[in-house]
Structure 1
Amino acid sequence: MKNMMSAFSSNLFIHLIICLLFMASCQPKTEEQATAEKNGEANKSTLEPLTSETVVEVLTTFEKENPDSLILISTRHGDIKLRLYKETPLHRANFVRLTKAGFYDQGEFYRVVKGFAVQGGDSDNRTMKQGPYKIPQEFNPKYIHKRGALAMARYGDERNPDKESSSHNFYIVQGEPRTLQELRAYEAKHNMQYTPAQIELYTTIGGEPALDQEYTVFGEVIEGMDVVDKISDEPVDGQKWPITIVPHKIKTLNN
């Protein structure tokens, strides 16, 4: 039993390291945007740039006027259909706002960790700017990092003690089935308790419980997980960037 527990602890530690390495790349490029502004680069977007001071007010107003909750992400591998959660109103409004402005049509799936997650929303070729803001976290115990979960990336260090989300970088979870023993360890780590239904999800379809209560989950894939799996099969370089670009186009389906 002692050897079994040692092996489990070792595997859990290794998985946590993988999670941290992946999420270290989940940082919005606010420093680059600030540098561009200092250098006098023109804002080529018709999208009103947001700031930390205006983000909540603008998104709250936008959320009331834009009830969209169905999203379609088109890629060269096919389409991914997602449903956004109304219980995470700021994140839903932000995603819909950027989508309707065409911001995400200049993005790509730029980081891929097979079996873990695919990350999109950014691109070195983007001309549209959204402003140097973060979104207040909207953790909800109902929504976990199951396979197919849609969540926002964020800074993960001392610069972000409130775990605020990136303005635009998102990821879709792949993940693998977890054991009950692993889930109990994550419950203790995150001071939470999974419901029987959530345990069933994690032990059957899988996911990434290490990310729960760390990143805001605000939607889920309802069609097209096979497309996510195809993206995850893309050959990548040493930084987990796909060798061949995987651009995406995103639109709302409600109206």
Structure 2
Amino acid sequence: MKYSKKAFISSPLLWVIALFLGMAACQPKTEEQATAEERETTTESKLEPLTSENVVEVLTAYEKEHPDSLILISTRHGDIKLRLYPETPLHRANFVRLTKAGFYDQGEFYRVVKGFAVQGGDSDNRTMKQGAYKIPQEFNPNYIHKRGALAMARYGDERNPEKESSSHNFYITLGEPRTLQELRAYEAQHNIKYTPQQIELYTTIGGEPALDQEYTVFGEVIEGMDVIDKIAEEPVDGQKWPLTIVPHKIKTIEQ
């Protein structure tokens, strides 16, 4: 079976890496995935497909009715707890909506680059459809691609000058500590100014500043970065696809 994912993230420092470039790759089907069609969603029996015309209206209304902000991602390596930002309401609502519908229970972490990011949300074996839509970008200077940042992938620049996000492909940032000189260069490149706190984060825990103001950050890991590190250690093929798939189940949890 061939993957047809098109949303991606990329870094100017990693053009030679085939990560997140929408390239096709074969993946073995596990027993769990083979029975995906038989699994029933637990909260919503159906997921109404969205379109480019109604996405903002639907997500705006959904956001008002569903204030969920804590997310739990379960994998065979353990659990990851994340907090979604209220200041990115469309992205938060979209992620919660797909989660509550069981959409992400038919997904996996399907591309991995150690030291850069792990990307999830998609699967060849998904039966649930979310519709063909993109989410308007919600760049916020307060939220950077520090280690543990949750962001949405997006489609290529030529087709997407507004830098709108994918409907469902997400990633969690890894990244190494950066020097102050590097950060000053990224400030000039992206026409931004990092706060002292952001500089401290980048120079201590690390991250990927090349992605700032390019992809919407809408949450962060608050527990389980060790699980992300384990996923990042998965053996991969030449296209950065894990040799053994890493399925995920995602749910909202109480505040």
TM range (shorter): 0.7 to 0.9
2: CA distance, partners of 1:101 / 1:234: 28
Assess if the C-alpha contact under 8 Å between 2:154 and 2:165 holds in 1.
Answer: yes
Are 1:58 and 2:58 counterparts? yes
State the 1:21 CA deviation.
Answer: 4.8
Alignment correspondent of 2:12: 16
Letter in 2 for 1:104: Y
Alignment correspondent of 2:82: 82
Identity, % of aligned positions: 84
Alignment correspondent of 2:179: 179
Residues paired across the two proteins, number = 224
Assess if the C-alpha contact under 8 Å between 1:23 and 1:156 holds in 2.
Answer: no
Letter in 2 for 1:86: P
Letter in 1 for 2:14: I
Alignment correspondent of 1:12: none
Letter in 2 for 1:16: P
Secondary structure in structure 2 of the residue aligned to 1:158 = helix
Letter in 2 for 1:124: D
Letter in 1 for 2:184: R
1:119-170 alpha-carbon deviations (Å, 9 max, x no partner):
0000011011000000000000000000000000001221000000000000
Secondary structure in structure 1 of the residue aligned to 2:61 = helix
2: CA distance, partners of 1:74 / 1:113: 20
Alignment correspondent of 1:160: 160
Unaligned runs of 5+ in 2: 1-10, 24-40
Letter in 2 for 1:114: K
Assess if the C-alpha contact under 8 Å between 2:190 and 2:212 holds in 1.
Answer: yes
Alignment correspondent of 1:93: 93
Alignment correspondent of 2:210: 210
2: CA distance, partners of 1:75 / 1:25: 23
2: CA distance, partners of 1:122 / 1:181: 37
Aligned pairs for 1:1-255 (under 5 A) are 16-18=12-14, 21-25=18-22, 46-254=46-254
TM-score, structure 1 as length reference = 0.85
Assess if the C-alpha contact under 8 Å between 1:84 and 1:219 holds in 2.
Answer: yes
State the 1:46 CA deviation.
Answer: 1.4
2: CA distance, partners of 1:236 / 1:201: 29
Letter in 2 for 1:46: K
2: CA distance, partners of 1:223 / 1:115: 18
1:65-115 alpha-carbon deviations (Å, 9 max, x no partner):
000000000000000000000000000000000000000000000000000
Assess if the C-alpha contact under 8 Å between 1:77 and 1:231 holds in 2.
Answer: yes
Secondary structure in structure 1 of the residue aligned to 2:19 = helix
| Greater fraction helix | 1
State the 1:16 CA deviation.
Answer: 1.7
Name the larger-Rg structure: 1
Runs of 4+ in 1 over 6 A off after TM superposition: none
Unaligned runs of 5+ in 1: 1-14, 27-43
RMSD: 1.6
2: CA distance, partners of 1:234 / 1:60: 37
State the 1:17 CA deviation.
Answer: 3.7
1: CA distance, partners of 2:233 / 2:59: 35
Letter in 1 for 2:21: A
Alignment correspondent of 1:35: none
State the 1:50 CA deviation.
Answer: 0.2
Assess if the C-alpha contact under 8 Å between 1:24 and 1:155 holds in 2.
Answer: no
Assess if the C-alpha contact under 8 Å between 1:98 and 1:104 holds in 2.
Answer: yes
2: CA distance, partners of 1:56 / 1:21: 32
